Amino acid sequence: MTLSVKDRVYAAAEQISAERRPTVSTVRAAAGVSNADATRYLKEWSEEKRAAGGQVAAAPAVLLEQAARLTGACWAEASVLADERHAAVEKAWLQEKKDLTVEVAELVADLDRVSAEKDASVTEFTARIAALEADVAVAGEQLERAQEAAQEAVREASADRARLAAAEARADTLQKAHDALLQRITPVTGPETQQAPGGND
């Protein structure tokens, strides 16, 4: 019996749909029909398939009851698993929160310690700077007094040199006067000594 064009297209579409989605070109080649016939009957075949798939028979009550029980059991199991998962996540979150709280406390303690050390260092350095400034001030005063004493010593040395020069000049003058006086009071002696009047012949 010779199949009609429609039957050949339907048969080709059924055969191709077992492996992949049939197309106009694949149906046309498999059925040996024209492009127009392949397009027309493939469209009808697709519509009939969709219509057949949409017609679902009413399920028996027993099957619906078993499906409801199965659904309830699945839901209960899913709820238990969800509760367990939630508890595990909450436990991990609480532990992480605890760890973070401890870490934050340690960081705060470290910050307080570092701040205290910084304040102590600032206080110590401030006191050392004040002491050094006081030492510099005292050294400055001592240097100023030493410079004044040195200037006074220079003035006194200049005055001593002037007095020494004056004393040397006076001593030289006195020495000259002394020599002149000695020359005046020392008797002059000749080659022959004169006899005193009234001496013997």
Burial letters 117-135, b for 16+ CB under 10 A, else e: eeeeeeeeeeeeeeeeeee
Instruction: Tell me whether residue 122 is in a domain.
Output: no
Residue 41: partners with Cβ closer than 8 Å, 6 or more residues away: 5, 6, 9, 10, 13, 27, 33
Report the C-alpha gap between 7 and 165 in whole angstroms: 156
pLDDT of residue 134: 92
For residue 50, being part of any structural domain is answered with: yes
- Asked whether residue 96 is domain-assigned, the answer is no
Domain count, the chain: 1
Residue 120 in domain: no
Please state the φ and ψ torsions of residue 145, each to the nearest 5 degrees: -65, -40
What pLDDT was estimated at residue 135?
A: 92
pLDDT of 160 reads: 86
> Could you give the residue ranges of the DSSP H alpha helices within 18-60?
24-31, 35-54
Q: What integer pLDDT is reported at residue 3 of this predicted model?
A: 81
Burial of 40 (0-12, 13-18, 19+ CB in 10 A): middle
DSSP-derived secondary structure letter, 198: T
**40 in a domain, yes or no?**
yes
**Nearest one of 51, 47, 25 to 36, comparing CA atoms:** 25
What is the spatial distance between Cα 37 and Cα 7, in angstroms, rounded to a whole number?
Answer: 11
pTM of the model: 0.33
Q: Is residue 171 part of a domain?
A: no
Does residue 11 lie within any of the structural domains?
A: yes
What pLDDT score does 43 carry? 96
Collect the ranges in the chain with pLDDT lower than 70: 1, 54-60, 64, 187-201
Can you tell me the distance from the alpha carbon of 142 to that of 137, in angstroms, rounded to the nearest whole number? Answer: 9
| Domain enclosing residue 31, as ranges | 5-54
Residue 23 resides in a domain: yes
Q: Considering only CA atoms, which of 51, 48, 64, 45 is closest in space to residue 6? A: 45
Alpha-carbon distance of 100 to 93, in angstroms, equals 10
> What pLDDT is attached to residue 193?
45
